[in-house]
Structure 1
Amino acid sequence: MTKKWHFRSVRKPHNDIEPLAGWKKQLQDLIDKNASTRADGCVAAHRTRDLTATVLFAGMNTLHELGYRVEVLSNFGEKHICRLVVHWHSEGKKATTMRTDLSIWRKFAAWIGKPSMVRRLHHYLPTVDPRQPRVSSVLTKPKSWSQNGIDVPLKIEEAFLLDERFGLILLAQLVFGLRVKEAICLKPWKADSGMGLTVLSGDGPKGGRPRFIPYLVPEQVVIMRHIKSRVRKLD
């Protein structure tokens, strides 16, 4: 199994961590310079930047293990991408995952001045059915609890019986429309402004962008007061 590598953008050595050098430093410099900005010019989410670093470092390490020692990134060519794709396929990697990884390598190719170098998956694996399931952003079935036959009040009650904090998390999701991570990371005393909730950038909002959820009905205010009464205020 290929090891997953992830180098964060920390440039100074700490304790026994050696500073990056060679192709690793070149790649980290490229990531630091380019990965924070999306193609449309907007700021990329932390998760996107982390995934970009993980895929690129993992791929480069795989190539070195396979005998393709790319020491200067400007020498990276299509034969390297082709070898990577063949290796992924031999390991049983899913087509959807390979397409995602290729999209990241396509960004890398643009960074080194070779924007047309990385082609579609079917170019490298012509025997793979191009109609294999693709990731779709179109909603094909309802996601709400009630529309999926879930007795919401009963499930909330069961959650509280299992663990009060778990019940509060589900209640916050239901009443304020929070995502799972937003509800888990919610700091009610800090988020509540009296007029609504502020979901901070580090508390799970999509894209890492903070958002404000206004209180639209009096019940939301009452429930937030209850949540705050059950959660210790942090300094």
Structure 2
Amino acid sequence: MSKKNTAATIATIIVAVLAIATTLFLLYQTSQQQIQETSYTFVPSAEVEEEMNMNAVTLIKNNCEVFRIYLQYGLSHQEEPYGNLPEDGYYTVISDTYKTMADIEKLVNETFIEKEAKRILTNINGDDIAVYAEETDDDGNKGIGLDMNMVDENGRFKAIEYGYSWANAKFTPYPKSNTECDIVIELNPLDSASADGSSSAEGETKQITANMVKANGQWRLQKLAY
């Protein structure tokens, strides 16, 4: 066989191998999509399904609120005189909804399992900083303090970068058993021109999955979803 024919044969083999590899990859993708679409096969009773749906609504709403006050916007705080840093390391939180740490703890503990609730309350950013802590004024009145490390040089809450809106979020519960349920949430891209954090019709949506479990008669989320 001539060198020319050998080269042509090798090229043909390479093309064939690449074609097979591409076909296998596409088949794998298709099979994975089919597996995902058919993985939820458990069918609960009407009573359990209603219970799951009701708890999913409450827990996802609470999840959104925890995300908002801990990672996205924070709670408003009072500035120190002359722009000084707080002596005790905490800015005083100003909120009509959350008056004491007990209010925040109640929200978190009623939404997440114990391990995740503790992480959120004490170390949500992985830096051993509790974003909020109990604060007591000179008169003995309890309040909430915002750790000064969570405030930038312009006095703003150090929020994470996040390009999606929870406004008009869509979610669908997928029961896995009588005591476990995945909740698939679809978020719309954030409208950068809007000051109220509303969503825009343009751009790709984001899909996330929250997991809800029932323990000791109470439904809780296993992780903060965002």
* Category of TM-score, reference length = shorter chain: under 0.3
Q: Which has the larger radius of gyration?
A: 2
Q: Whose strand proportion is higher, 1 or 2?
A: 2
| TM-score normalized by the length of structure 2 | 0.21
| TM-score normalized by the length of structure 1 | 0.21
Q: Which has the higher contact order (CA 8 A, sep 6+)?
A: 2
Q: Whose helix proportion is higher, 1 or 2?
A: 1
